[in-house]
Amino acid sequence: MEKPNESIQELLIRLEVLSKKQDQFAEEINDLRFRIETLRASRWSAIAKESSEKEQPVKENSIKVPEVTAIAPQEVIKPEVFQPKVEVETPRHNFNNIPKSPPEKSDLEKFIGENLLNKIGIIITVIGVSIGVKYSIENELISPLMRIILGYLSGIALLGFGIKLKKKYENYSAVLVSGAIAIMYFITYAAHSFYGLIPQIPAFILMVIFTVFGVVTAIHYNRQVIAHIGLVGAYAVPFLLSSNSGNAAVLFSYMTIINIGILVISYKKYWKGLYGSSFGFTWLIYFSWYFSDYTTDRYFGLALLFLSIFFIIFYTIFLAYKVIKKEAYSGIDIVLLFLNTFFFYTLGYFILDRHDIGEQFLGLFTLINALLHCVVAVLLSRQKEIDKNLFYLIVGLAIAFITIAIPVELDGNWVTILWVFQAAILFWIGRTKNHAIYEKLSYPLMLLAFLSIIQDWSVLYVTQYDYYSETSITPILNTNFLGSILFIAAFAYITRLYFKKEYSSPLKLSETVTQMLSFVIPGIFLFSIYYAFRIEIESYWNQLHISSGTRNEGFGVATSVQNLSYNLLKFKTIWVINYTLLFLSVLSFVNIKKIKNELLGYISLGLNGVAIILFLTQGLYALSRLSDSYMREVIGKYEEVGLFAIGIRYVSYFFIILLLVICYRYIREKFIKRDLKIIFDCVLHFTILCILSSELIHWFSMASNAASDKLGLSILWGSYALFTIVLGIWKKKKYLRIGAMALFGITLVKLFLYDIAHLTTIAKTIVFVSLGVLLLIISFLYNKYKSKIFDEV
């Protein structure tokens, strides 16, 4: 650290400079005031004289200030205000004597002349010397020894000339000295590698001396560029003088010493560029060594040791800048901190993973990373003037490593449980304690937990039963379902806290993001409830399906499964649809009675419509297949479905009726602003028609008269069309009447294109007569109630 006297001296110098600037500004302000008052006084006199000339006859001495009424208020100068201003001494320096700041062109010219040209000059000089040396070598004008001697002499001469010019031309002198150090480096390298004039150890010592000299010179000159040259030389020395011995311990020990020295200097002189360069060189060399020379049996302990040393050195210097220097962290600091942490953990993970024993400690290694950041966060929290953003950044790293440690160490749904509870805790701290960083960290964890539980549902359930496994799970009473329940509980708490009016978000989010979160968080919660029970239903019927087959075993292992009952899969489809209808009915009922949210209402109605379509397609098809299986005269062992194959269709009708009633309640609620009655009526009548058609086919099949369903369907559709027209006339609903006529048209097309080819003469007669009578009745109704129909408002 700097001595107290030196610090005081620097502060006094800065204070003196600021005082001089303040005096100069005061003089300029006084001069400006004087000029402004002078101009105002002269203007007032001119206006007064002009007024006196207009009024004749008027004596010259009779002019009075009150008579000058045309003067604006801001232009009237009171004597008592103006006189003291006149008495102010004229500044010693007027505007003409004050030095003007040079224009931008002069600044650019100064930069080029004083800074850029000398650097370009030294580079060109070194290139010129190199060309001359190359020519002398090619023509053998100078012996190798003389070349090295002349190289050292030129470097020493340049160094001496630069030192001599330091007092008057410090910047120029610093460039010359840095060039001299560079020449010394490469002359030593040439003497060792090209000519063998200097052995390895003396060459190494010389380069270390040049490095130390460069660093000392940089401090003396207070020029970071000289330190950079010394830094490049320091890291280049081991490679320039390498004998390919592969002694990594010596290399990393040397790098550690260099890093400590250079980083201390970068901290003391506040040279952040030196810190970044050292960071880049160190990790580049380590990565190169790891991918080219590392072997587990030879370098395992050494690699972990120096990996930890490098990480701690850069972490410590980073914290020193932030804690001791009181520096606010910037974007580049965040990048360097994350890269340092990422390099350490990634390389350490790979080193441990490639070791037979080390791979068992991957979770512990991840927790050690988290513990290290936790300790740093605790120490930072005790600092009174620490930047809170730095504290939150370190806490975020600790939380990130705890999150990573969960899947590294654990398997299965424990990962999901820990992630979702971690997300809930962070969200609770962020909302209740008003800490934005914690809430911000909770959202990625929510997403991770959600993706994890999806993976659990798609993998864990499937792996516990397959066609060749004897294992099975008990519905509801299993660890997979327990994990789902804990996930649901955590998200229920998060959802409740998110919508709780007592706590507002500390994050300044846009309205779009806020609306998205208000949709996504409860959406994950509801989806989790739905799918947790659905997958239990699916797994139950899947296991029954698997256990219904006969396993052919070889050497104690199942090789094939035969005679599976696929009717059980039809039961699975029906029960999944029934559960979906029930879940959506309950969700809709809760929104109607408790939540009363318009957006949730529209979403629920949309999902209800999708569920109804699934029932009318997949559900009715599965029910018809079960009816067919039950009615077969010859039923094999694996075709036994029982009487419930018939009864389940009426259970399903109960659930679809329940959902339709809920939808009817929905569209009548006040918080549903849109008029959805027409859509509901269309869905209702279409559902009724589909169910009646399915029942008609079912009962014809029960009566062993499957061919009659063609006749029956045409009559049913025609009769329902008549019923709908009557209802449309009665309720004055034009869309019902139009729909009924469209249904009648479809029935006629079916009759002529399909039914005629498969019906007997009697059946054709019945169908045609029936439909004809229905058409006559419809026509009669339109004629009788035409005034009521066509006068509808």
Confidence of residue 504 (pLDDT cuts 50, 70, 90): confident
Residue 224 identity = Q
Instruction: Report if residue 647 sits inside a domain.
Output: no
Distance of alpha carbon 166 from alpha carbon 591, whole angstroms = 82
Confidence of residue 520 (pLDDT cuts 50, 70, 90): very high
Confidence of residue 601 (pLDDT cuts 50, 70, 90): very high
- DSSP conformation letters of 498-548: HT-TT---SS---HHHHHHHHHHHHHHHHHHHHHHHHHHHHHHHHHHHHHT
pLDDT digits (tens, 9 = 90+) for 724-738: 888 888 888 888 888
Instruction: Report if residue 664 sits inside a domain.
Output: no
pLDDT digits (tens, 9 = 90+) for 6-57: 567 777 777 777 877 777 787 788 778 778 877 777 766 666 566 555 544 4
Confidence of residue 76 (pLDDT cuts 50, 70, 90): very low
Q: What backbone torsions phi and psi does residue 90 show, to the nearest 5 degrees?
A: -65, 130
- DSSP conformation letters of 96-151: TTSPPPPPHHHHHHHHIIIIIHHHHHHHHHHHHHHHHHHHHHHTT-S-HHHHHHHH
Contacts of 229 (CB under 8 A, 6+ apart): 178, 181, 182, 214
Q: Which of 187, 217, 247 is the last residue of a domain?
A: 217
pLDDT of residue 613: 95
Residue 251 C-beta-side C-alpha neighbours within 13 Å: 23
Averaged pLDDT for residues 318-333: 72
Q: How many domains does the chain have?
A: 3
CB contact at 8 A, 579 and 533: yes
Q: Is the pLDDT of residue 239 over 70?
A: no
pLDDT digits (tens, 9 = 90+) for 134-187: 666 667 677 778 877 887 887 788 778 777 777 776 666 766 777 777 777 677
Distance of alpha carbon 730 from alpha carbon 658, whole angstroms = 26
CA dihedral 688, 689, 695, 696 (to 10 degrees): 150
Distance of alpha carbon 664 from alpha carbon 350, whole angstroms = 61
pLDDT of residue 579: 96
- Is the model more confident about 583 or about 509? 583
Distance of alpha carbon 348 from alpha carbon 353, whole angstroms = 8
Distance of alpha carbon 183 from alpha carbon 168, whole angstroms = 24
- DSSP conformation letters of 617-642: IIIHHHHHHHHHHHH-SS--GGG---
pLDDT of residue 233: 56
CB atoms within 10 A of CB 488: 18
Same domain, residue pair 58 and 129: no
**CA-to-CA separations, 139 to 134, 136, 142, in angstroms, rounded:** 9, 5, 8
Q: How does the average pLDDT of the chain come out, rounded?
A: 76
Averaged pLDDT for residues 610-617: 95
- DSSP conformation letters of 699-748: HHHHTT-TTHHHHHHHHHHHHHHHHHHHHHHHHT-HHHHHHHHHHHHHHH
- Own/partner long-range contacts of 390-397 (Cβ < 8 Å, ≥24 apart): 390/322, 390/329, 392/435, 392/437, 392/438, 393/329, 393/334, 393/337, 393/437, 395/437, 395/438, 396/437, 396/441, 397/337, 397/341, 397/373
Instruction: Report if residue 334 sits inside a domain.
Output: no
Q: What share of the chain is helix, strand, coil (3-state, %, to 5)?
A: 80, 0, 20
CB contact at 8 A, 233 and 262: no
Averaged pLDDT for residues 682-709: 82
Q: Which of 87, 110, 138 is the last residue of a domain?
A: 87
Averaged pLDDT for residues 306-315: 90
pLDDT of residue 575: 95
pLDDT of residue 651: 94
Instruction: Report if residue 259 sits inside a domain.
Output: no
Same domain, residue pair 138 and 52: no
Instruction: Report if residue 59 sits inside a domain.
Output: yes
pLDDT digits (tens, 9 = 90+) for 544-559: 888 776 655 544 555 4
Q: Is the pLDDT of residue 488 over 80?
A: yes
Residue 263 C-beta-side C-alpha neighbours within 13 Å: 25
Instruction: Report if residue 431 sits inside a domain.
Output: no
Spatial CA neighbour of 399 closest among 418, 383, 380: 418
Same domain, residue pair 125 and 178: yes
Beta bridge partners of 553: 558
CB atoms within 10 A of CB 427: 24
Q: Is the pLDDT of residue 78 over 50?
A: no
Spatial CA neighbour of 294 closest among 282, 280, 312, 306: 306
Q: Which of 199, 217, 235 is the last residue of a domain?
A: 217
Instruction: Report if residue 771 sits inside a domain.
Output: yes
Q: Which domain holds residue 718?
A: 710-793
Instruction: Report if residue 718 sits inside a domain.
Output: yes
Confidence of residue 436 (pLDDT cuts 50, 70, 90): confident
**What pTM was estimated for this model as a whole?**
0.59
**What is the DSSP-derived secondary structure letter of residue 616?**
I
- DSSP conformation letters of 241-300: T--S---HHHHHHHHHHHHHHHHHHHHHTT-HHHHHHHHHHHHHHHHHHHHHH--HHHHH
Q: Is the pLDDT of residue 573 over 70?
A: yes
**What is the DSSP-derived secondary structure letter of residue 560?**
E
Cβ burial, residue 718 (10 Å; 0-12/13-18/19+): buried
- Is the model more confident about 87 or about 586? 586
CB atoms within 10 A of CB 252: 23
Distance of alpha carbon 446 from alpha carbon 564, whole angstroms = 41
Same domain, residue pair 69 and 127: no
Contacts of 601 (CB under 8 A, 6+ apart): 588, 591, 666, 669, 671, 672
pLDDT digits (tens, 9 = 90+) for 267-304: 666 666 777 777 888 888 888 888 888 888 888 999 99
Peptide bond into 506 cis (omega under 30): no
Same domain, residue pair 83 and 129: no
pLDDT of residue 297: 87
pLDDT of residue 371: 92
Confidence of residue 496 (pLDDT cuts 50, 70, 90): very high
